[in-house]
Chain A
């Protein structure tokens, strides 16, 4: 099935295209503006979720909750030694006491720096593999070395955030699908209205031996051009909004929000949307016109 958009000048004259604003162009501009924004949101959250999951997968914090400072230090050394010997551990790092005090300062003030304060010792662990089995194995090694050890899996802290971002991605995908469906519906209505407007011309062309496909091409070309022009306007405006928001988010300096960025592939997907919508509109127009023409002899 061919989708011919370029027709001879004479064919283009067949439907009177003068007069009246081309409402379809502006409808398509709005449709594509909203679609590109929704798609950009979906792609950004998808990328951010991916970065977040990559960062958190296989990361653990071992807390040695021991009130006695000496025993705590001994257990910490044992944990470090035991985990360094494990082939599942890629990197291990004991969090410095000063760093812990700095983290507590917003809540405890200067008291957080008191050397007598029984702050748990903490060991950051990066695993080669974040699977449940490996995490359980490493946790068992840590507990064997230090009975007071508590294991915090980073993935479990951030899983609600990751789930929420996944939900946003799906919501954005659903919005894009809804916009595509709405675009197809608008095109079908517009094609039927246009058929009605040009009914007399269509009847004449039919009697002169025009095929349904020839007639459908006249309408699909017109709607495809409206979608391409309108879609380009909407997509460019949406891209400007996305770029501006990208700068604003980057200025926040948040690692989490900073992940909401679009890569080259994401921009390529966004650039394809007006073309995809033009194709969708063309096919919707074709099927609407062919369906309507089939009802007349």
Chain B
């Protein structure tokens, strides 16, 4: 599959401090599975923010879906964001909405008619094992349940890229494995998956996954495979 993300010498600096990310260069192949690892503070979340267009880089070039994402006009960002699913580290569910409504959000944002929303949301609830929690609001759900609602919300729009920031950080090992299987099954459907984690136990669970390791804001790519990937999975 074609490359859908390309970072070239990307740097990111917050305010006047040191660069959080320096000279980051990599290419994501469409349909591939990536783990982004690194110690806390290595810049994983910052890199993901660039990836899901919550932040613009201080320098360097980013191409997303074949277009220059750095100079992309603000008015075109929503269209790009709808092609990217995001699982936030802190879930970011809307607390006064039910699980159903939280999962339905991307469809409603995209203007899908109300009549066409019920079936895919129910399917998603079943996929993440929360059929009985459609009306539950996030504060009444456990951490793992909230995480699954967040995942369902991220994938219901069939994004081309799924970005998950420490998705297993708040769940027990069994749940972590279940969540990973969800990502893997989505990846099999063609979605490029990028999972940021510092849980090394997870890394071996997806044999074909590519590893991206950040260390103090720099991406380690000793073989050059991240810059010039052969192909997706």
Contacts and interface: CB of A to CB of B under 8 A. Distances in A.
B109 A10 contact: no
B74 A207 contact: no
Interface of B: 52-56, 74-75, 77-82, 86, 88, 92-94, 96-97, 101, 104-106, 108-110, 114, 153
B110 A209 contact: yes
A206 B54 CA distance: 9
B104 A207 contact: no
Contacts of A200: 92, 94
A214 B108 CA distance: 10
> Could you say which of B79, B97, B108 has the most chain A C-beta atoms within 10 Å of its C-beta?
B108
B101 A211 contact: no
A203 to B, nearest CB: 7
Given A207-B52, A209-B110, A16 B96 contact: yes
A294 B75 CA distance: 10
Interface size class, chain A: 20 to 34
15 contacts: A8-B114, A10-B114, A200-B92, A203-B92, A204-B105, A207-B86, A207-B88, A208-B82, A209-B79, A209-B80, A209-B81, A209-B110, A297-B53, A297-B55, A297-B74
B78 A209 contact: yes
Contacts of B105: 204-205, 208
Q: Is the interface of A mostly helix, strand, loop or mixed?
A: helix
Chain A to chain B: the 8 pairs with minimum beta-carbon distance, closest first: A209-B82, A209-B81, A16-B96, A209-B78, A211-B78, A210-B109, A204-B92, A208-B106
Interface string A163-191: 00000000000000000000000000000
Interface of A: 8, 10-11, 13-14, 16, 18, 200-201, 203-211, 214, 294, 297
Contacts of B114: 8, 10
Contacts of B81: 206-209
Contacts of B104: 10
A209 B109 contact: yes
Contacts of B74: 294, 297
Contacts of A207: 52, 54, 81, 86, 88, 92
A214 B109 contact: yes
Contacts of B88: 207
A11 B81 CA distance: 19
